[in-house]
Structure 1
Amino acid sequence: MPWAVLRLHRAALAVWGAFLLATIGMLVWEAGINADSVRDRIAACGHDPGLCRIRAVVDYGGTIGWASTLVYYSFFAVAAFAGGALIGRELENGTAQLAWTQSVSPTRWLAATLAVPAVLLVAGGTVFVFVFRWAWAANRDLMGDDWTFNDVFAARGPALVAYGLCALGVGALAGVVLRRSLPALGVACGVMYLINHNLEKSREDLWPTVASGGSGGQFHPESHYWPMHLVETGIVLGVAVVATGAAFWVLRRRTG
């Protein structure tokens, strides 16, 4: 079954691999090679660097930020793929039912169908997180200090992988319930938008704030990054487990 899944969806999986390699290559280029060119550009700004330095830093930091944005929001593509092609289309076309008549139980079919992309998501996402963390820290003088920026916040830790797995589970559930590719695609993406939007909106409430000196206001120091990040990761993984479990339950109910 895993080999069958690889053959059937090899084009989509190859695109995912190429996409990850391209973004990782962009990070390595910026942090390992282009950073020196940016510093030379700043040094050539003259006695009044001002706007010249700002533009150079924005160009460098913007490229690093775009890498995190592209991979972070790729969970929408994962949800669309899982709901539309991986599960929904197979049920709609009868391919899954054919497999069930050949000594492959529905539960085993779903487990094998989800296992292959799950392994690739975890492996690829983990590599990206480590490379991104290195790129983010390698040239701090050329980067901004906004660690709360949504894409960067997720890309520096396991939340990025958790969102991918959550999208896979949500997509699988949508596909099993709706059994049609296009509706499952739309519902999966819509649900992931709601999950992500609400977690980003309430991120500051995931961990207690501390009082700032003098002003009496509340804020999150950078030391709160990991507590906030891990709480969000746990919530997203919890949704992934529930969605995946529900997909198996619905499939068993419908296939007897």
Structure 2
Amino acid sequence: MSGLALKGTTWVTVRQYRRTLWLAGAVVVLVGAVLGALWIWDVRVPDTYTRGGRTLPARTDTGRDLLSSAVGGVADGMLLLPVLLGAFVAGPLVARAYESGTYKLSLTQSVGPAAWLRAKLLTVTVAALVTALALTVLYRLAQGHLTDTRHRDFDLGPYEVTGLVLFAQLLAAVAAGALLGLLVRRTLLAMAATGTVLGVVLLVLGSLRWSLLPVRTITGPNGDMLMPRDNGLLMDTGLLTSTGARFDREICWQEANAAPGVDADHDLWITAHEQCLTRNDITAQYVDYHPQSHFWPAQFIESGILLALAALALFAAFRVLRTRHP
């Protein structure tokens, strides 16, 4: 067992963040216990009600509803993992060592600057990835049991947890924290800077994620609103004129709503709406959407961008370290 014992900077880092590691483990256990308990409730406790001395199945499934809410909460909570990791762990990881001066002791123990930083980053990265993997497995098991269409893979939260993006975000958080910690060398400032920078990067990528792939378009006659095929992600919908030009359906809705007397007579609203469509030569409608097949390409593209940013941040961090400790 001695060969598996932690040594040197790795042992120091684990010792320094032992409370955080215990907290991460406790969160995983708590999430597993809650999801497991609700799962058992859903399977073994049928929802029924009594009427006239007879026991009948209830229309609602309380256990399944609570499990679905818990699954959604886990996905939403995991969205915060990268920012929390960057701000409260990766940011102060190096900055605290410089602010307190403990880095000097580490670098006098036959440990080179690069090996010192590498051991710290590796320890935090492994712990973060293992925690995220455990939570992801719990989420996928519970979600697979639900087969709940309320939590689609395209949605914010399930998108990150279901694919590779969350792990890439965690790697970017560690890299950003290391670089900013080396640059500012103040714990609180490093925490604030890492959380802010990482939050901005994730928000920007999240807003652009579905612009990185071309949408697919389906058209059909004007009538009942078209919906994306195969439960795809709706991006835009509207009307088409006879020439194929796009027309915003809101224009005719607003014009019909502004017509006099429509509040008292719905038929007047329909007439005003139809007149607007005819006047603007509307003959069809369209839907822009991302099909299910775009899920993994989007994951790979976004993860690749995050990993590239993480690699650049790590390269810059080791360059800064080499400059200060040649």
Alignment TM class, shorter chain as reference: 0.7 to 0.9
Structure 2 gap segments, 5+ residues each: 1-8, 51-55, 221-284
Structure 1 gap segments, 5+ residues each: none
Q: Distance in 1 between matches of 2:298 and 2:34?
A: 28
Residue 125 of structure 2 corresponds to 118
Q: Given the two structures, how large is their TM-score scaled by the length of structure 2?
A: 0.70
**Are 2:79 and 1:9 equivalent residues in the alignment?**
no
**Are 2:171 and 1:176 equivalent residues in the alignment?**
no
For the 8 Å contact 2:163–2:299, the answer to whether it is kept is yes
**Are 2:316 and 1:246 equivalent residues in the alignment?**
yes
Residue 144 of structure 1 corresponds to 150
Cα RMSD of the aligned pairs, angstroms, is 2.3
Structure 1 residues 125 and 145: alpha-carbon distance in aligned structure 2, compared to 1, 3 A threshold? closer
Amino acid at match of 2:296: W
Residue 231 of structure 1 corresponds to 301
| Pairs within 5 Å for 1:89-128 | 89-128=96-135
Higher strand proportion: 2
Bigger-Rg structure (1/2): 2
Superposed CA deviations along residues 63-100 of structure 1, whole A, max 9, x for unmatched, are 10111122231111111133443111111110012211
Amino acid at match of 1:241: A
**Are 2:279 and 1:222 equivalent residues in the alignment?**
no
Structure 1 residues 249 and 21: alpha-carbon distance in aligned structure 2, compared to 1, 3 A threshold? farther
Q: Distance in 2 between matches of 1:88 and 1:77?
A: 16
- Structure 1 residue 252, shift from structure 2 partner: 0.8
Amino acid at match of 1:175: G
Structure 1 residues 226 and 44: alpha-carbon distance in aligned structure 2, compared to 1, 3 A threshold? farther
For the 8 Å contact 1:83–1:181, the answer to whether it is kept is no
Between 1 and 2, higher relative CO (CA 8 Å, sep ≥ 6) is seen in 1
* Percent of aligned pairs with the same amino acid: 28
Structure 1 residues 254 and 76: alpha-carbon distance in aligned structure 2, compared to 1, 3 A threshold? same
Residue 218 of structure 2 corresponds to 212
Match of residue 195, structure 1, among 192, 201, 212: 201
For the 8 Å contact 2:91–2:176, the answer to whether it is kept is no
Q: Given the two structures, how large is their TM-score scaled by the length of structure 1?
A: 0.87
Residue 37 of structure 2 corresponds to 29
For the 8 Å contact 1:203–1:232, the answer to whether it is kept is yes
Structure 1 residues 16 and 212: alpha-carbon distance in aligned structure 2, compared to 1, 3 A threshold? same
- Structure 1 residue 118, shift from structure 2 partner: 0.8
**Are 2:179 and 1:165 equivalent residues in the alignment?**
no
Q: Distance in 2 between matches of 1:35 and 1:102?
A: 56
For the 8 Å contact 1:126–1:158, the answer to whether it is kept is no
Q: Distance in 1 between matches of 2:125 and 2:100?
A: 23
For the 8 Å contact 1:61–1:143, the answer to whether it is kept is no
Amino acid at match of 1:216: Y
3-state SS in 2 of match to 1:114: helix
- Structure 1 residue 47, shift from structure 2 partner: 9.2
Higher helix proportion: 1
Say how many residue pairs are matched. 249
For the 8 Å contact 1:172–1:247, the answer to whether it is kept is yes
Structure 1 residues 198 and 37: alpha-carbon distance in aligned structure 2, compared to 1, 3 A threshold? farther
3-state SS in 1 of match to 2:131: helix
Structure 1 residues 217 and 163: alpha-carbon distance in aligned structure 2, compared to 1, 3 A threshold? same
